[in-house]
Amino acid sequence: MAEVRPFRALRYDAALADPAQNIAPPYDVISPAEQRALYGRSPHNIVRVEYGETRETDSEADNRYTRAARDLCAWRDAGVLALDDVPAVYAYRQSFTWGGVRYERRQWFVALRLEPWDAGIIKPHERTLSNPKADRLDLLRATHTQVSPVYSIFRERGTAFEPPPDGAPLAGFEADGQHHSLGAITDAGAIASFAARIADADVYIADGHHRYETALAFRDEQRAAGGAWTGDEPSNFVLMALTHFSDPGLLVLPTHRLVTPPAYPDDARARIARRFRVAAVAPEQAAGALADAARAGDSAFVAFGIGDGGGASLLTLADRAGVESLMPAGESAAWKRLDVNVLQYGILRDVFGIDDAALAAGGAVTYTQDESEARAAVERGAARMAFLLNATPVAQIGAVADAGGRMPQKSTYFYPKLPTGLVLRPV
């Protein structure tokens, strides 16, 4: 069972540092230009801790991690960041617009007991990379603070979920085109009821696999350091935000592929046609064609650059058994039905030779959530081809995780990202 607890959050004091000027996106989506802009926005912007700049003069004694620790300490000393008086579960509403539609997503910030993957209590859905984990671990060692939350979705196994009240209001502000509303639930009964519901739920990590594994590694380091270990130490828990599976604001965007293969066979289109139905489609109808395919339960893609004339082609899977025969035998049926895997094994690997090594090397495939950018990249020659995908449904993410599988990198993009800086958790 997943165990969640209230915690005392470290938060910006709005009288000294406006949260609207000091939150930031998580580190893994901040470009160099965005990093510079966030530095210029405020001397207390959390980017200085979460994703500090590197300098030519960096040394063992002065680097992005030591500076993060110094800034965090200085801000606490000055009262810019203050620890709440009592533990709470923090209710958070994030309102945003996508495609002209207004959404509101609800989350609850908790301290969640860390469990290894093989316990099956917290379920991952994506694979992780070593470099980001090393970076996050260095930051956690330096600051002893969980700066950015792991984002997870949960689905109850028994009775229908009843959300707790939002609690006492703490903050409400506009930033980066979104409205952010934070409240503190301190009532013991409400917290116990919420914790019981999470204990009777399946919890799936949506975003932050690297942060979760980093927290596990840090916990193990602290345990190995010696002394009595009760299991209730702060490092035995991780800062996590939880959203319900059925939340109407839970939005997953597709991640389109921009492809420049190492070789382009003369008969590439004919090879694709061995396992996919290929039909011309007007570029402006691409989104509608993909939506129709999703409703029909088909794996389909819109491709630019696979034919003459620069037009668009709708590729609909015709030979599922043939494509799945190209996939690793040990993977589950749910994993094999993922559109990202159908594209990877049925087209990118089988037709263009882009295997795991080529993906790891980089350059052959890049990614965007912007359909118009994917098409424009082909038109201006920045990519040889582009493949538009449907978003991975939340239910399919859960099915893969339930079967013990891991989705490839860039399979999901939960939008918007959770901001960093609303609540921090010292460990």
One-letter amino acid identity for 228?
A: A
By percentage, how much of the chain surpasses pLDDT 90?
A: 83
Averaged pLDDT for residues 90-115: 97
Averaged pLDDT for residues 394-406: 89
The pLDDT score that the predictor gives to residue 53 is 95
One-letter amino acid identity for 99?
A: G
Residue 253 pLDDT > 80: yes
Structure tokens, 122: 């917290």
CA 197 to CA 178: how far, in whole Å?
29
DSSP, collapsed to helix, strand or coil, labels residue 38 as helix
Residue 159 pLDDT > 80: no
The pLDDT score that the predictor gives to residue 77 is 98
CA 26 to CA 44: how far, in whole Å?
16
Query: Element (H or E) spanning 317, and its range?
Result: strand 312-317
If one counts every other C-beta atom within 10 angstroms of the C-beta of residue 102, the result is: 10
Q: How confident is the model at residue 34 (pLDDT cuts 50, 70, 90)?
A: very high
Q: How confident is the model at residue 161 (pLDDT cuts 50, 70, 90)?
A: confident
* Residues 307-331 pLDDT 10s: 766 689 999 999 999 999 999 999 9
Structure tokens, 76: 């606490």
Contact between 139 and 217 under an 8 Å Cβ cutoff? The reply is: no
Query: Element (H or E) spanning 51, and its range?
Result: none
Q: Which residues pair with 91 in a beta bridge?
A: 108, 183
Cα atoms in the 13 Å half-sphere on the side-chain side of 170:
26
CA 115 to CA 239: how far, in whole Å?
13
DSSP, collapsed to helix, strand or coil, labels residue 295 as helix
Query: Element (H or E) spanning 202, and its range?
Result: strand 201-207
The pLDDT score that the predictor gives to residue 356 is 85
Angle value at C-alpha 63, between 59 and 66, nearest 5 degrees: 120
Query: Element (H or E) spanning 405, and its range?
Result: none
Give the C-alpha distances (Å, rounded to integers) separating 167 from 79, 185, 186.
24, 4, 7
The pLDDT score that the predictor gives to residue 317 is 97
**Which residue do the tokens 């668009």 mark?**
312
> Phi-psi category of 246—alpha, beta or left, where left has phi over 0 and alpha has psi -120 to 50?
alpha
Contact between 315 and 272 under an 8 Å Cβ cutoff? The reply is: yes
CA 352 to CA 344: how far, in whole Å?
10
Print burial letters for 324-353: b (CB count within 10 Å at least 16), e (below 16): beebeeebeebbbbbbbbbbbbbbbbbbbe
* Residues 347-399 pLDDT 10s: 999 999 999 888 878 889 999 999 999 999 999 999 999 999 999 999 999 99
* Residues 191-243 pLDDT 10s: 999 999 999 999 999 998 999 999 999 999 999 987 778 889 999 999 999 99
Contact between 142 and 68 under an 8 Å Cβ cutoff? The reply is: yes
Angle value at C-alpha 49, between 423 and 76, nearest 5 degrees: 65
> What φ, ψ does residue 418 adopt, rounded to 5°?
-70, 135
The pLDDT score that the predictor gives to residue 334 is 94
Beta strands in 25-88 (DSSP E): 81-83
Residue 126 pLDDT > 90: no
Residue 162 pLDDT > 90: no
Q: What is the pTM of this model?
A: 0.91
Residue 127 pLDDT > 80: no
> For the chain, what is the mean pLDDT?
94
Residue 69 pLDDT > 80: yes
What are the residue ranges spanned by the domains of the chain?
Answer: 4-251+415-426, 255-390
The pLDDT score that the predictor gives to residue 7 is 98
The pLDDT score that the predictor gives to residue 407 is 86
CA 155 to CA 161: how far, in whole Å?
8
Structure tokens, 149: 């939350």
Least confident of 29-33, 72-76, 161-165: 161-165
One-letter amino acid identity for 153?
A: I
